Amino acid sequence: MSTLEGKQTRAFQTEVRQLLDLMIHSLYSNKEIFLRELISNASDAADKLRFEAIANDGLYEGDAEVAIRITFDKEANTLTISDNGIGMSAEEVEANIGTIARSGTREFLQSLQADQAKDANLIGQFGVGFYSAFIVADRVTLLTRRAGLSSGEAVRWESAGDGVYTLENIDKPARGTDVILHLKAEEKDFLDDWRLRSTVRKFSDHVPWPILMLQSKGFEPEEEEAGEETKPESDDTPQWDTVNKASALWTRAKSEITEEEYNAFYKHVGHDFEEPLAHIHARLEGKYEYTVLLYVPKRAPYDLWDRDRKHGVKLYVRRVFIMEGAEDLMPRYLRFVRGVVDSTDLPLNVSREILQKNPAVDAIKKGMTGKIFSLLEDLAKNDAEKYQTFWDTFGVVLKEGVIEDFAHRERVAKLLRFSSTHADSKVQDVSLEAYVSRMREKQKAIYFVNGESFEAARHHPHLEVFRKKGIEVLLLSDRVDEWLVTHLHEFDGKPLQSVAKGGLDLGELEDEADKQELEKQQGEFKDLLERVQKGLGEQVKEVRITNRLTDSPSCLVSGEHDLSASMERILREAGQKTPDTKRTLELNPSHPLVGRLKGETNDQRFDDLSHVLFAQALLSEGGQLEDPAEFVRRLNGLLLG
């Protein structure tokens, strides 16, 4: 254990400095959330102590009554949040609230800069809650000692939020942390017993540790059940009230829990300020027994795409907090789920690593996954509006389930929603079931098209014949869709078929007369096709006549087993090698430009026009030209010629 030499002054990193500056000067709404954040940290510290004490109960130092205390001093103008949780060593203080920015700092700064209301409420999810102390304080002092260290190894940290902080060793007999806020002159209103109690009840009622406040003279607790009163031992012992409910919500019977309580608890475990979209509370019994209280949020957390994201489902064993957020508890594609699971079967006194290998954890993960599916299926069936909100926010994540979770592929497939040519709207609200129910009489396949964007997919030249014949096509434009369709081969016995791959085979949907006409044209255009192919050389595999186009003169088609063009682009952008696949150029025999090409006698103009038709086909599906300058030169030649 290193000790600090004297009092040291250190500087915060620029980002932390900017964050503190914002806290101090520009957060106007919901200022009182600083209390929620500091209480949440105290509660986490209490959780950690209880967990570590399972293996080493010496950490309790003879005092196993863990609690959070809030006191204030009107004369000194201070508000103090104390806990006798795990505390911090000097290194931990430095690492957790010292120089370096934590991972959410930048994201929080950005979200605040975008937020007109400058709402402090946002802070919880970014993992920088400690600094919210500076919303109401112009100086913050933190005294802390890690449980198990000697009283002389405690630390005093202090900062006025001006870019630097000081650190020094102090003596602190009680383990844990005191956060002392020296309130700004205009925030003195917080030094009020009633206001503090009501703020605690509003934001921290479901913190599972007692939050204590000194009984003020003549104060009667408002509600009986709000807390147990401690009987006075003698007149001068301070008497504390428990201000919050301090019970684990999930252990109570469903029938006794109100919607408000469920929502309030979500805000605590989900680090969110908005209400959740839906929840499920269930007790599972069987080989293993456990209780789950799981929520689907309304909004995506900032770190949804971050591999080191912080939050997830919290695992408790007989009400003792063990770990949070691990992929051992929820599949990756359900990473938006928040809440708790409390097991009776897992051993308490093992490391997290061993716990992760326990078969019960696997069983719990399966059980919870099933519960989330039931919840989503229920929403999809009974509350389309809510399900749409869910899909718009987390649909792209759920789609990963098709790829990752073979066992649940069908269940995920039923929950999928797409845009389609049916409504031609960007809103993804078409289920595969709905698509199948609308399939034309002799239609065998579920058709889709991939595009770089919704607009690109919607205007894809390959759709022309489908629109003409009134056949619905799914419009896919999320990146993950490329992988999705390589894993989802069929639904309800119907194959999924790209409209941009292979020869157009509409099966029995095809008109016999159309087919014969096309064959006739293949013959008529034979010379032309050979000439175009010769001119384009290596760029195409084949040139042929098509009936899939009505408005466009040309399009490109991939082979049945080739990578799609957009998939190739994605892979190339990711720096991966792609096979050198050539594609087929198809020409629309009834388009005037193709007619002109047929009658063109000037060799230069023929060459320019066939290159331009090839380039157009590439551009209109969202592709990029290898040599744009050449295209411009040829086009200009034609325009002037």
Per CB under 6 A, residues contacting ligand ADP are: 37, 41-42, 44-45, 83, 85-88, 96-97, 127-130, 177
> Which does residue 177 touch among Mg ion, ligand ADP, none (CB within 5 to 8 A, set by kind)?
ligand ADP
Specify burial of residue 223 (Cβ count, 10 A radius: 0-12, 13-18, 19+): exposed
Which residue, 176 or 451, has its beta carbon nearer to Mg ion?
Answer: 176
Minimum separation from the CB atom of position 42 to ligand ADP (A): 5
For ligand ADP, the closer of residues 128 and 140 by Cβ is 128
Token pair recorded at residue 526: 């034979």
By a kind-dependent CB cut-off of 5 to 8 A, residue 401 interacts, out of ligand ADP, Mg ion, none, with: none
If the CB atoms of residues 68 and 432 are measured against ligand ADP, the closer one turns out to be 68
- Interacting partner of 205 out of Mg ion, ligand ADP, none (Cβ under 5 to 8 A depending on kind): none
Select the binding partner of residue 42 from ligand ADP, Mg ion, none (C-beta < 5 to 8 A, by kind).
Answer: ligand ADP
The 583-587 sheet, strands edge to edge:
540-545, 583-587, 554-557
Residues 32-61 that bind Mg ion (CB under 5 A): 40-41
DSSP 8-state class, residue 590: T
Question: CB 408 → ligand ADP: shortest distance, Å?
Answer: 31
Task: Pick one of Mg ion, ligand ADP, none as the site partner of residue 618 (Cβ within 5 to 8 A by kind).
Answer: none
Report whether 179 contacts 142 (CB < 8 A).
yes
Q: In the numeric block, which tokens belong to residue 609?
A: 């026009």
Query: Of 44 and 342, which CB lies nearer to ligand ADP in the complex structure?
Result: 44
Residue 84 interaction partner, one of ligand ADP, Mg ion, none, beta carbon < 5-8 Å per kind: none
208 binds, among ligand ADP, Mg ion, none (CB under 5 to 8 A by kind): none
Nearer to Mg ion, 140 or 346 (CB): 140
Residue 84 Cβ, how far from ligand ADP at the closest point, in Å?
10
Q: Is 451 a binder of Mg ion (CB under 5 A)?
A: no
**Smallest gap, in angstroms, from Cβ of residue 199 to Mg ion?**
17
Which 3 state secondary structure label does DSSP give 1?
coil
Contact flag: residue 129 with Mg ion (CB under 5 A): yes
CA atoms within 13 A on the CB side of 82: 17
At residue 380, φ and ψ (nearest 5 deg) are -60, -35
Residue 128 or 474: which CB sits closer to ligand ADP?
128
Q: How far is the CB of 351 from ligand ADP (least distance, A)?
A: 19
Contact 402, 329 (CB under 8 A): no
Q: CB of residue 311 vs ligand ADP: minimum separation in angstroms?
A: 8
| Residues 190, 234: Cα–Cα separation, whole Å | 30
How buried is residue 627: exposed, middle or buried, by Cβ count under 10 Å (0-12/13-18/19+)? Answer: exposed
Phi/psi of residue 587, nearest 5 degrees: -115, 145
24 binds, among Mg ion, ligand ADP, none (CB under 5 to 8 A by kind): none
Residues 239-242: contacts with CB within 8 Å, 24+ apart?
Answer: 239/214, 239/215, 240/69, 240/212, 240/213, 240/214, 240/215, 241/212, 241/213, 241/214, 241/215, 242/210, 242/211, 242/212
Nearer to ligand ADP, 97 or 293 (CB): 97
- Measured from the CB atom, the residue of 129 and 401 that comes closer to ligand ADP is 129
Whichever of 8 and 96 has its CB closer to Mg ion, that residue is: 96
What residue type is 221 in one-letter code? P
Number of residues that bind Mg ion (CB under 5 A): 3
3-state SS, 224-282, equals: HHHCCECCCCCCCCCCEEECCCCCCHHHCCHHHCCHHHHHHHHHHHHCCCCCCCEEEEE
Closer of 128 and 615 to ligand ADP (Cβ): 128
H/E segment holding residue 78: strand 78-83
How many residues in the chain? Answer: 641
Least gap, CB of 316 to ligand ADP (angstroms):
18
Residue from 324, 412, 342, 327 nearest 370 by CA: 412
User: Residue 608 binds which one of ligand ADP, Mg ion, none, with CB within 5 to 8 A depending on kind?
Assistant: none
* Residues in contact with Mg ion, shown as a per-residue x/- string from 520 to 559 under the rule CB under 5 A: ----------------------------------------
DSSP assigned state of 471: -
For the CA atoms of 418, 419, 422, 424, what is the dihedral angle to 10 degrees? Answer: 170
Shortest Å distance, C-beta 97 to ligand ADP: 5
Q: Which of Mg ion, ligand ADP, none does residue 497 bind to, with CB < 5 to 8 Å depending on kind? A: none
Residue 353 CA to chain centroid, in angstroms?
25
Name the binder of 227 from ligand ADP, Mg ion, none, CB < 5-8 A by kind. none
Taking the least distance from each CB to ligand ADP, the nearer of 130 and 606 is: 130
Nearer of residues 129 and 339 to Mg ion, judged by Cβ: 129
Strands 313-317 and 338-343, sheet pairing: parallel
* CB of residue 26 to Mg ion, shortest distance in Å: 21
Q: Which is nearer to ligand ADP, 37 or 607 (CB)?
A: 37
Question: Which residue is nearest to Mg ion, using beta carbons?
Answer: 129
Question: Strand 278-284 and strand 176-183: pairing?
Answer: unpaired
In whole angstroms, the minimum distance from the beta carbon of 45 to Mg ion comes to 10
Query: In whole angstroms, how close is the CB of 309 to Mg ion at the nearest point?
Result: 15
Restricted to residues 604-623, the positions that interact with Mg ion (CB under 5 A) are none
d(CA 169, CA 309): 33
Which one of ligand ADP, Mg ion, none interacts with residue 249, CB within 5 to 8 A by kind?
A: none
User: CB under 5 A: which stretch of 121-129, 457-465, 489-497, 507-515 binds Mg ion?
Assistant: 121-129
Beta-bridged to residue 283, according to DSSP, are 291
Minimum distance from residue 332 beta carbon to Mg ion (Å): 24
Among 429, 519, 420, smallest CA distance to 475 is for 420
The partner in contact with residue 376, picked from ligand ADP, Mg ion, none with C-beta cut-offs of 5 to 8 angstroms by kind, is none
Kindly state the smallest distance separating residue 205's Cβ from ligand ADP, in Å.
19
Among 122-130, 237-245, 420-428, 532-540, the segment contacting Mg ion (CB under 5 A): 122-130
Residue 45 near which of Mg ion, ligand ADP, none (CB within 5-8 Å, type-dependent): ligand ADP
Segment holding 355, helix H or strand E: helix 352-356
Least distance in angstroms from the C-beta of 120 to ligand ADP: 13
Structure tokens belonging to residue 321: 């907090």
Is 243:212 a contact under the CB 8 Å cutoff? yes
Whether the CB-CB separation of 135 and 31 falls below 8 Å is answered with yes
Positions in the binding site for Mg ion (CB under 5 A):
40-41, 129
